Structure 1
Amino acid sequence: MKQRLKRTSFTPFVLEEDVRIEGLSHDGRGIARHRGKTLFVDGALPDETVRVQVLEDKRCFMNARVSAVVDASAERCEPLCRHFKQCGGCSLQYNTHDAQLKNKQSIVIDQLQRFAKVSPESIDEPLRSAPFGYRHRSRLSMRWKKGLLLMGFREKGSNAICQISECPVLAEPLQKMPALLRTYLPTLKSREAISHAELFQLSDSCGVLLRHIRPLSETDRASLRVFAETHQLFIFLQSNADRIERLYPEDSSEFSMHYTLPSEQLVMHFRPQDFTQVNWQVNQAMVDQAMVDQAMVDQAIQWLQPTKTDRVLDLFCGIGNFSLALARHGATVVGVEGSQRSVDQAKVNAKANDIENAEFYCADLSVAFDHQLWAKEPYDIVLLDPPRAGADFMIDHLVGLLPERLLYISCNPATLARDAGSLSGHGYRLQRLSVMDMFPQTAHVESMALFVR
C-alpha cells in the first residue's frame, strides 16, 4: 500500500505506517528503510517497530525521531532521570546498560569491517563503568532573566537551557552542587556577570570554576571566599579573556587538586583548564592495573607489557595520564602535546612522582612534525590518543618510525575505521580491540585498539 505523509508548515510530518528498525548507526540512532532511503531514527532500538516523525527529508536519507513504540525491544527500559525527555545530555537512557555496551561494540566492529575491511583478531570484554554516578567533571550553562537563574544543560536539539534539579550521572560528591549554586549565586550583586559554572571532583573535595563576562565586585569576591570556605570548595574565576584566577584557597598547601592512580602509586595534579577524563573508574582501568567492578584489569599496561628496554612515544599525552604509568613500569617515555600548559603540568607530575624516565615536548601535531628531534628517534611503542578527527594526517610518518606496537585510543568509531584501514595498508594488523564505557547513557563510543607490525 502506498504510504502517505502528513505535513504542516509548523510540525514534522508523521509516517502513518510503522517502520522496523534494522540496526544502529555509528551515533546510536536506529536505522530503517523507507521509500528507498535510509531512515535514521533517534530513540529507536534494533528489532523494534516504531512510528516516527520525520525531521529532515534529504536526497538519500531521512532524519527522524520516535513518536510511538509499537513493538518494543526487550532491551528498552524506563529512563532513570526525570529530565530525560527535555535534557540533551544522556540520550540512551531508554536502553539497558548491558545493551548499550553490546550495541557500541557492534558499532565499532561494523565500522571497521564496512569502511576499512579490518576485523580484530581478538575482542576483549568492554571496560565497564557504573551506569550512573560516574561523571567527575561537568559544565553547567546559565542564563539570567530579571535576576532569576536558569541553570542546567542544553535541551535536545536546542540552545535553550534545561533547568535541572538532579543529574544521576554526576559523581556523588557533585550531586549537591547544582542546588547549592542555584541557591547561592542569586545572592551576588554582580550575579548576571556569571555565564557558566564548571564542576570537578577532587580526591578530597570539589571545585567550581565560574566564568564571568565582566569583573565581580570586591563584595562578591569576599562572599565567594566565605561560601568556598564554608563548603570546603576550590573556587576559580575565569575572565572573558580566559585568564583563570584561583579565588579560594589562596594558599595551595591547603588543598591539592589531583586524582590518583592507586595501583601505579601515581598522583596526578591538575588545574581547572587541564584536560582530565570525566570517568575516573574507566580511566584507571585504561591506565593502571586496578580492578574495575572486580573484573577488569588494566588494558594499556597489560596489552603493551612495557619493559625497561622499550622506548615509548605518547602522542596527545595531555598532563601525562598514560606516559607516567608507562614510565612507572620502566619504559623510557617521550610525551608530546599541542598545549604548552599541559606539557608544563606533565613535567610537574613527573617531578611530583619522582619519575625521571619521561620527557615531554610541545608540538603542533596537526602538521608535519618529522623535523622535530624527538620524531627522529626509534620507538618500540607508539601510543596515540587523538581528537575526534583521528590521526590520518600523521599515519605515514608514524609507520615510518616502525614501532612494533601501536596503541590507538579512539573517541570516534568512524575515524578509527579510516585510520585502521591506513595502518592495515602499511602492514599492521589489528590484534586486539575493546570498547570502553567512558560515557554510559550517551551515544559517545570510546575504544582501545592494539595494532602490531
Structure 2
Amino acid sequence: MAKQKHIIPVRNGEKLELTVDSQGSSGDGICRYEGYTIFVPGGLPGDQVFAEVIKTTPRFGVTRVIERRVASPDRVEPPCPVFAQCGGCKLQDLKYEKQMEFKVGVVKDALKHIAGLDSPSIRSIPAEQTYHYRNKGSFAVQKHGGFLRMGFFKQGSHDVVSTEQCAILPDPTNEAKEWIRKLLIKHQVSVYNERRHHGLFRELVIRHSAQTNQLLIGLVTTPGEFPDEFLKDLVAKEPRGRLNVCGIVQNINSQKTNVILGNETRVLWGVGELSEKLSDLSFRLSLTSFFQVHPEQTIRLFETVAEWAKNTSGRILDAYCGVGAISLWLGQSGLRVIGIEELPQAVDDARASATANGIDSCSFQQGKVEEHIRKFKGQDIETIILDPPRKGCAEKVLQAVAEISPQRVIYVSCNPSTLARDLARLEGYRVDDITVIDLFPQTQHVETAVLLNLRDA
C-alpha cells in the first residue's frame, strides 16, 4: 500500500490570520490551520496575528509575525530592550504565574506522551526573585562591521545580540562584562572566528556570588597569550576593586566545536575559585564546575530532595554530583553520601567544600557514572540520586540502578523529555512525587525533581 501523502494547506510566502492557542516546549506559540500545526515564534496563547509562512514540512509550518492585531491577556511588557532578538529569555513577555503554568504543562505533557503517566499530580515552587537572579553569565563575542558584540546568540542562529544590561543577571556581572568588552576593543585583542578557527578570544564567563557579591572572571581563549598592555589594564586596581573581583582566570579551549570551556585553566590574577554560600553551607566553585544558577531556588530544590531522603538509614549514592552540593546538603544532617562525578576539578571542589564545612559523612569518587555505579551492587545503598546533564542518564546507569535496587530513586532533571524517557525505563519503580522548581524564570527551561519508590516495597 502506498504511503498516504500529507496535505500541506499552506505554502511558503502565504500570509494568514491566525489565533495562537498553545505553546510548545520551546516557548513558541502554536496554532492549528485546517488541521495543520503552525508554529508562531513570539506568539502567546490568545494572540491574534497576521503572519507569513516561512517554512513548511509535512508535519508543521513556521511563520513570521507581521502584525499582532490582538494581544494575549497574559502578555506583559518585557524589560529587556533586545528581548525580541535575543534567544536567552523567551518568556519575559508572559505573566509569571502563566510561566509556571506553562512549565508544569511541559513536564506533564512529556510524562504523558513519553513515560505513559496520564494526568500526574505535579507540585510547583515559583521563584520570588524572577530577575537579576542568575549567578553565572556566559557571553559570546563577535566582530561585526568594526563593532565588538558581546552577549547571547540570536534565536536559531550564531549571530550575537549585544546589550549592556541583561535583565536576569545581577548588576555587577553586567558591569564587569562591559568592562572586559571595552578592554578588548582598547587593546585590539583578536576575536575568535568559528568559521575560520582563527583568533584568540572566544568567550567571557563570569560567576557571581549572591552571598559575598564577589566575581570570578573567566576569559576563554584559544592557545595563546594576551597583549601585555591588556593584562596590565586587566589587573589594575580599578574597576577590579570596585567590582569586587576575587579572581581572573584564562581558560584554554583549542577545540573546533561549540563547547565553551576547555580543560586547562590558569590564574591571571587573584584566586581561581569563587566561594558561594547557601544557608549554612559554603561551596568552592571553579570556573568549569557546574552549580545551579538560582541560589534561592537551589535551596528550595535541596530542601525538597532532603525531605525525600531524610529517612535513609543506609548510604546514599549521588550520581552526577558536580561540586557535591546535594551530597553536602544531605551530609550536614549526618546522612552518609557517596558522590560520583566525571570532572576532576568539580571533585576537587566537592572535597574542599566538605573539608571547609566540617562534613565527614560525604566522600567523592572521580569518573564516569556508568563506569563506577555497578560496583555498588550488593552494598547498603538505600537511596540513589540521579542529577544528569540534559541528555539524561546513560542506559548502563539505569540498568545498574535496577541491579542495585535501592528503596528509592530521586531524579533531578533540567530536561522534561529525557526525564520522561528515563522514568519509563525505571520499570521497577512507581512515581510518588513530582515537583517543578523554577530555577530559570523568564526562560522556557524547567527543573523537575521526582521521587520514585520500589513497586514491591
Shorter-chain TM-score range: 0.7 to 0.9
Cα deviations across residues 413-445 of structure 1 (Å, max 9, x unaligned)?
A: 11112222222x32x221111112111111112
**In the aligned structure 1, how far is the partner of 2:350 from the partner of 2:220?**
25
Q: What is the alpha-carbon distance in structure 1 between the residues aligned to residue 413 and residue 374 of structure 2?
A: 26
Stretches of structure 2 that go unaligned for 5 or more consecutive residues are 1-6, 192-199, 255-261
- RMSD in angstroms over aligned alpha carbons? 2.5
Aligned to 1:261: 278
- 1:109 match: secondary structure: helix
What is the match of residue 416 of structure 1? Answer: 419
Do the aligned partners of 2:112 and 2:119 also contact (CA within 8 Å) in 1? no
Matched, 1:194 2:201: yes
Whether the 8 Å contact between 1:120 and 1:430 is mirrored in structure 2 is no
Structure 2 CA distance for partners of 1:452 and 1:216, relative to 1, 3 Å: same
State the percentage of identical aligned residues. 27
**Which residue does the alignment assign to 2:318?**
314
Alignment of 1:7-156 (within 5 A): 7=12, 13-16=13-16, 18-119=17-118, 122-144=121-143, 148-156=147-155
Give 1:402 shift.
1.8
TM-score (norm 2): 0.85
2:117 and 2:379 map into 1 onto residues whose CA distance is 29
Residues 1:3 and 1:284: Cα distance change in structure 2 (over 3 Å): closer
Query: Matches of residues 335-354 of structure 1 in structure 2 within 5 Å?
Result: 335-354=339-358
Contact 1:155 1:162 (C-alpha < 8 Å) held by counterparts: yes
2:270 is the alignment partner of 1:270: no
Q: What amino acid maps onto 1:80 in structure 2?
A: P
SS in structure 1 opposite 2:381?
A: coil
The residue that corresponds to 2:304 in the other structure is: 299
Determine if the alignment matches structure 1 residue 222 to structure 2 residue 243. Answer: no
Deviation, 1:122, is 4.4
Equivalence for 1:432: 433
* Contact kept? 2:82, 2:163, Cα under 8 Å: yes
CA contact (8 A) 1:122 1:431 kept: no
Distance, in Å, in 2 between the alignment partners of 1:39 and 1:189 is 46
Is 1:449 the counterpart of 2:454? The answer is no
Deviation readout 1:265-297 (Å, 9 max, x if unpaired):
21101111111122112112212xxxxxxxxxx
Which residue of structure 2 lines up, in the alignment, with residue 162 of structure 1?
Answer: 161
Deviation at 1:333, TM superposition (A): 0.4
Deviation (angstroms), 1:99: 0.5
Listed one character per residue, the Cα deviations across residues 374-396 of structure 1 (whole Å, up to 9, x for unaligned) are: 45423111111111122261223
Cα distance between partner residues in 2 of 1:169 and 1:319: 24
Secondary structure of 1:277's match?
coil
Shift of residue 229, structure 1, vs aligned partner: 4.5
Give the distance between the partners of 2:66 and 2:448, measured in 1 at CA: 32
State whether structure 2 residue 302 is matched by structure 1 residue 249. no
Task: Quote the Cα distance in structure 2 between the aligned partners of 1:434 and 1:169.
Answer: 23
CA distance in 2, matches of 1:49, 1:346: 51
Mapped partners of 1:284, 1:130: distance in 2: 13
Aligned to 2:221: 212
Match for residue 244 of structure 2?
Answer: 232
Aligned to 2:257: none
1:143 to 1:30, Cα distance in 2 relative to 1, 3 A: closer
Q: What are the Cα deviations for residues 151-196 of structure 1, in whole angstroms up to 9, with x where unaligned?
A: 2221222211212121111023323223323333322254653332
Which stretch has the larger CA shift, 18-27 or 158-167? 18-27
Q: How many residues align?
A: 425
Name the SS of the counterpart of 2:421 in structure 1: helix
SS at match of 1:313: strand
Which whole-Å CA distance do the structure 2 matches of 1:143 and 1:440 have between them? 27
Q: Work out the CA distance in 2 between the residues paired with 1:3 and 1:152.
A: 38
Distance 1:439 1:14 in 2: 36
Name the SS of the counterpart of 2:31 in structure 1.
strand
The residue type paired with residue 259 of structure 1 is E
CA contact (8 A) 1:120 1:433 kept: no
> 1:364 deviation in Å?
1.7
Aligned position for 1:285: 300
Q: Against the structure 1 CA distance between its residues 318 and 34, is the aligned structure 2 distance closer, same or farther, given a 3 Å change threshold?
A: same
Using the size of structure 1 for normalisation, the TM-score is 0.86
- Determine if contact 1:336/1:360 at 8 Å carries over to the other structure: yes
Indicate if the aligned counterparts of 1:26 and 1:414 stay in contact, CA closer than 8 A. Answer: no
Tell me the amino acid that sits aligned with residue 276 of structure 2. Y
Aligned twin of 2:258 = none
Specify every segment of 5 or more residues in structure 1 that has no aligned partner in the other structure, as ranges. 8-12, 288-297
Q: Is the 8 A contact 1:118 1:420 kept in 2?
A: no
Q: Distance in 1 between matches of 2:389 and 2:54?
A: 29
The answer on 1:401 being equivalent to 2:404 is yes
